[in-house]
A and B are shown apart, each in its own frame.
Chain A
Amino acid sequence: MRLAHAVIALKGIIKRELWRFLLQRERFVAALVRPLVWLFVFAAGFRSTLGIAIIPPYETYILYEVYIAAGLIGMIQLFNGMQSSLSMVYDREMGSMKTLLVSPLPRWFLLTGKLMAGTFVSILQAYVFLLIAWFYDIQAPWFGYVSLFPALILAGLMLGALGMLLSSFIKQLENFAGVMNFVIFPMFFMSTALYPLWKIKESSELLHTLASYNPFSQAVELLRFAMYGQFNGHAFLYTLSAFVFFMTVAVWGYNPSKGMMVKKTGGPN
């Protein structure tokens, strides 16, 4: 793989993703409306719920909408990751995925490029969300917005890799509804996006354990701490490990001779 080839390919992949994103304005709006509805409608009902305890990285009492903000950024990235997986299934059905994978560049590189493009889009969405949230008095220190960037990259890559992994298992576009029910919803609700762990523990030990090991929880905590200029080492290692695992399996899954593609298509033709 020559560097020039790699750059041209990466440019092409990112350009295509961005172009698709910019042309689908409703996708951008939908990606923002979802977390904003949660913020303005759902969080409004629980406004004072968390005003009785201080949990890191917060140094004082906070309103629920402040707590949920990091979770909603995670939600943006989770849905973006799933959206990418949906579009990959579509690409595969339309044949453009085959065009991509038969290029002379390594498969891991092509898939990582696609992942990076999706992550970039999710970061853009996250910062627009934070801008709107700023006017709703959800304001992190200025350095928090800087330290959030690398956390967004890692969380975006991990959730994108999960989406990619899932897309390698999904045979047809119609099956994507199953992903919503069995992956996105459980991941989101069984996490620290909506409630802190101590609160979950009050209701169920099992739920607390599941939420603790949920990689989405760790991604959200990584984002939450980064938003306040703090580094959560445990969340970082957990998210990084999850990314490596998901990515490895996804690359294997997209191998036409060994992975899930064989089971779906009967191997290379």
Chain B
Amino acid sequence: MNKYFFMLLMTFSTMIFADTLYITLEKDNALAVVDGETGQLLKTVPVGQRPRGIAFSKDQAYLYVAASDDDTIQILDATTLQVSGNLPSGDDPELFKIHPNGLWLYVSNEDDNIVTVVDLKEKKAIAEIAVGVEPEGIAIAQNGQWVVNTSETTNMVHWIDPQNQSIKDNTLVDPRPRAAEFSVDNQWLFVTSEIAGSLSRIDVSTKQVSAKLNFNIAGVDDELIQPVGVLAHPNNEMLFVALGPANRVAVVDIETMTVTKYLLVGQRVWNLAFSPDFKRLYTTNGVSNDISIINVDKLKVTKSVRVGHYPWGIAVKANSTDSSSSKSPTFVPAER
């Protein structure tokens, strides 16, 4: 999706007025359903044990929820929110992403040091890819060409070719890489490193780190700055990075790799998601049990609302039937 497509998307997305957020509550074993515009908690639905990763199917008919302590990914009917089945995710599934073809789901299995590929149509595992120690983040290029996985202990990014589900390359990054995100033009890969407190920009063509940013917030201890979730804005200029216990979201200029603003949000911010019209950015704040809503145009946090205990993953669905809202919701995985 290039800049012009984004402008077109913005033009036609003016019809969208509301969206619904689906937030996994790690401690409540439930899913919070929240109105995106007002932040009002609409209802709470019970799901499996320790729910974390969450994402919609490509057609938005199903909602997938990683129930980590049940060792499965649950399939929920997106309308009724009733569990209709399970996926063979492997042990302790936490983060996952769906390939743009809508068929393959990639999930990290931290204890087994593998990435499991699940066929969503057949509901069976079709590949197990051996990766580094403690695999964590998953990112998929929007053109579907690359799937990357970060391994926390090996400190590497593993480049998986989805054509044959095998590793083609590896890139060494800063300690404890947590989450990864491709730029919308698929030129860059961004990786957050929790212990180093840094963000690496990797050139997709060379697989080499081309720039690095170390976060620094006046008045906040460096040890508290632990970058986790990362999300690229479709304008291909801005990147949002959740900084964990620093209680901030950093707004990063992709080109210069500098922070343009730090936004104060709730405690221990994990994951991020945009509203379908990209006017709002939502953050899940694990310790303060709330989400924060950010006005993306003004780069201002407008409100923070309680949703339940340990909000973790977030998926967004447009309420309007407008065709421009059919873009798959964004999910950026990270772990506590």
What's the Cα separation between A243 and B220 when bound, in Å? 43
Residues in B neighbouring A61, C-beta threshold 8 A? 247, 264-266, 292, 301, 304
Q: A102 an interface residue at 8 Å Cβ cutoff?
A: no
Q: Is B302 a contact of A48 with CB atoms below 8 Å?
A: no
Residues in A neighbouring B265, C-beta threshold 8 A? 60-61
Q: B89 an interface residue at 8 Å Cβ cutoff?
A: no
What's the Cα separation between A63 and B248 when bound, in Å? 11
Q: B303 an interface residue at 8 Å Cβ cutoff?
A: yes
Q: A54 an interface residue at 8 Å Cβ cutoff?
A: yes
How far, in Å, is B304 (CB) from chain A's closest CB? Answer: 4
What's the Cα separation between A31 and B267 when bound, in Å? 37
Closest to A139 in B: B300
What's the Cα separation between A62 and B300 when bound, in Å? 11
Residues in B neighbouring A52, C-beta threshold 8 A? 267, 288
Closest to A62 in B: B264
B-contacting residues, A42-83, CB 8 Å:
47-48, 51-52, 54, 59-63
Knowing A51-B247, A52-B267 touch, does A59 contact B220 (C-beta < 8 A)? no
Q: Is A60 a contact of B267 with CB atoms below 8 Å?
A: no
Residues in A neighbouring B304, C-beta threshold 8 A? 54, 59-61
Number of B positions contacting A (CB below 8 A): 16
With beta carbons under 8 angstroms apart, the residue of B218, B219, B220, B301 that contacts A60 is B301
Residue from A48, A52, A60, A139 having most chain B Cβ neighbours under 10 A: A60
A-contacting residues, B208-224, CB 8 Å:
218-220
How far, in Å, is A43 (CB) from chain B's closest CB? Answer: 11
Residues in B neighbouring A48, C-beta threshold 8 A? 219-220, 264
A-contacting residues, B291-317, CB 8 Å:
292-293, 300-304
What's the Cα separation between A240 and B219 when bound, in Å? 40
Q: Is B301 a contact of A47 with CB atoms below 8 Å?
A: no
Residues in A neighbouring B302, C-beta threshold 8 A? 59-60
Knowing A51-B264, A52-B267 touch, does A59 contact B219 (C-beta < 8 A)? no
What's the Cα separation between A47 and B219 when bound, in Å? 7
Closest to B287 in A: A52
Residues in B neighbouring A139, C-beta threshold 8 A? 300
How far, in Å, is A81 (CB) from chain B's closest CB? Answer: 33
What's the Cα separation between A63 and B300 when bound, in Å? 13
With beta carbons under 8 angstroms apart, the residue of A47, A51, A59, A62 that contacts B218 is A47
Residues in B neighbouring A51, C-beta threshold 8 A? 247, 264
Closest to B220 in A: A48
Closest to B305 in A: A59
Chain B proximity mask over A68-110: 1 for CB below 8 Å, otherwise 0: 0000000000000000000000000000000000000000000
Chain B proximity mask over A137-159: 1 for CB below 8 Å, otherwise 0: 00100000000000000000000
How far, in Å, is B303 (CB) from chain A's closest CB? Answer: 4
What's the Cα separation between A54 and B267 when bound, in Å? 12
Q: Is A60 a contact of B247 with CB atoms below 8 Å?
A: no
Residues in A neighbouring B266, C-beta threshold 8 A? 61
Chain A proximity mask over B108-140: 1 for CB below 8 Å, otherwise 0: 000000000000000000000000000000000
Residues in A neighbouring B218, C-beta threshold 8 A? 47
Closest to B39 in A: A59
Residue from A52, A59, A62 having most chain B Cβ neighbours under 10 A: A59
Closest to A63 in B: B264
What's the Cα separation between A47 and B218 when bound, in Å? 9
How far, in Å, is B92 (CB) from chain A's closest CB? Answer: 31
What's the Cα separation between A60 and B265 when bound, in Å? 7
What's the Cα separation between A124 and B266 when bound, in Å? 36
How far, in Å, is B156 (CB) from chain A's closest CB? Answer: 34
Give 29 pairs: A residue, B residue, CB < 8 Å, sorted on A.
Answer: A47-B218, A47-B219, A48-B219, A48-B220, A48-B264, A51-B247, A51-B264, A52-B267, A52-B288, A54-B304, A59-B302, A59-B303, A59-B304, A60-B265, A60-B292, A60-B293, A60-B301, A60-B302, A60-B304, A61-B247, A61-B264, A61-B265, A61-B266, A61-B292, A61-B301, A61-B304, A62-B264, A63-B264, A139-B300
B-side interface residues toward A, CB under 8 Å?
218-220, 247, 264-267, 288, 292-293, 300-304
Those 9 A-B pairs whose CB atoms lie nearest each other, nearest first = A59-B303, A60-B304, A47-B219, A60-B301, A61-B264, A60-B303, A48-B219, A51-B264, A51-B247
Sample of 4 further A-B pairs with CB below 8 A, known A52-B267, A54-B304, A61-B265: A48-B219, A51-B264, A60-B302, A61-B266
